[in-house]
Amino acid sequence: MNNTKRNKEKEEEKKRLAKALKQNVLKRKKQQQSRQSRPLSKFVCGEEFLGKSTAEYSNVFENDKITIRNLSFEGGIMPELPEVEVISNFLLDKIKNKQISSVTVNNWNLRVPITKNIDDLLKGKVINDIKRRGKYTIWNTEGSMAVIIHLGMSGKLIYADHDQVRDKHDHVVFLFSDNTSIIFNDPRRFGLVIILSKEQEINFLDGFGIEPLTDEFSGDYLQELLKNKKVNIKSALMDNKLIVGIGNIYASESLFRARISPLRLAKDLTSIECKKLAAEIKNTLSDAIAAGGSTLKDYAQPSGSAGYFQNNFYVYGKVQKPCRICNNIITLIRQNGRSTYFCNACQN
């Protein structure tokens, strides 16, 4: 009798697990469909983009009321602050003070539509400055306009002679008066190339958090930022409304260097831990910039050179490999849909 009861309980438990698994699969499928059908505003910025079609999007240059919404992508490796900083510094050296002769768009169908009158807006304009904000590179031109570029998952900016052989994924070509060019290449088409007025640029950047390489970003600042955050520390570091430019790679590496577990709640970090973490975030990002960024899949510098900071990773991508410090096996978990690598012996 007892065996019959136990067997019945086991069968009921199997049914419960199967039902829970089915519900989880359906939930994930629904979330995926929802992501695919999101309006443009979920991927770019601003109330003015809500529900707009590609044709309507071409007119947003007329409207100065734009607010930021972070680009968000599931799966894949997106260039982070160091990679975009390396690219921006390269472009600053190569194309500042150059005049744009033309802009040729070979494929308008990016995830976020390219500004339709981009050639008319930029032709004859001189590049006055190039800067990075978060994971965006921004070209400021004559006439108080800004070229805003986000590389998405697979985007590259390639510096080349105009007569080089074109690739099928070369979606936008900026030709300069000296016959050099910058090519926006993006196989997966998750990138962004839009033109904004100065006012729009200011509004666009208004929702960003602090730049982690500034003097203002300190342990005290970080502790104040995190004191009420009831999320894990890794997710907090990757929240661009708090701190810009830190993605999956550099959040994992910075937390390892600071010996802080990614499982910890952000609000629970002590003053000493915040000071250590702020310092290691700066060290990690600076080291990565000096190494030309991290080339894991698609990223390359505009010159075509790869970065090599991936050779210095402590934990990212090292699942089932021994920790360089203690020989403990590196652990891989999922946090908010992202892979998190850490050493549960070194990080507390």
Catalytic annotation present for 47: no
Tally of CB atoms within 10 A around 202: 13
**72-97 residue pLDDT tens:** 444 457 899 999 999 999 999 999 99
Please report the DSSP string for 166-209 in residue order.
Answer: PPTTEEEEEEETTSEEEEEE-TT---EEEEEEHHHHHHHHTT--
Interatomic CA distance for residues 154 and 300, integer angstroms: 10
**254-295 residue pLDDT tens:** 999 999 999 999 999 999 999 999 999 999 999 999 999 999
**8-59 residue pLDDT tens:** 665 665 565 555 455 544 544 454 444 343 333 333 333 233 233 333 333 3
Say if residue 101's pLDDT is above 80: yes
Helix (H, G, I), strand (E, B) or coil at 47: helix
- pLDDT given at position 163: 67
| Cβ atoms 238, 246 nearer than 8 A | yes
Q: Which of the residues 94, 98, 131, 338 is marked catalytic?
A: 338
Catalytic annotation present for 79: yes
Q: Which of the residues 69, 135, 156, 234 is marked catalytic?
A: 135
- pLDDT given at position 165: 65
- pLDDT given at position 23: 54
Catalytic annotation present for 11: no
Q: Which of the residues 48, 52, 79, 111 is marked catalytic?
A: 79
Helix (H, G, I), strand (E, B) or coil at 223: helix
Nearest to 279 by CA among 263, 255, 262: 255
**333-345 residue pLDDT tens:** 999 889 999 999 9
- pLDDT given at position 239: 96
Q: Which of the residues 48, 52, 69, 80 is marked catalytic?
A: 80
Interatomic CA distance for residues 348 and 345, integer angstroms: 7
17 burial type by CB count under 10 A (0-12 exposed, 13-18 middle, 19+ buried): exposed
pLDDT, average across residues 103-123: 92
**119-170 residue pLDDT tens:** 999 999 999 999 999 999 999 999 999 999 999 988 999 999 876 767 889 9
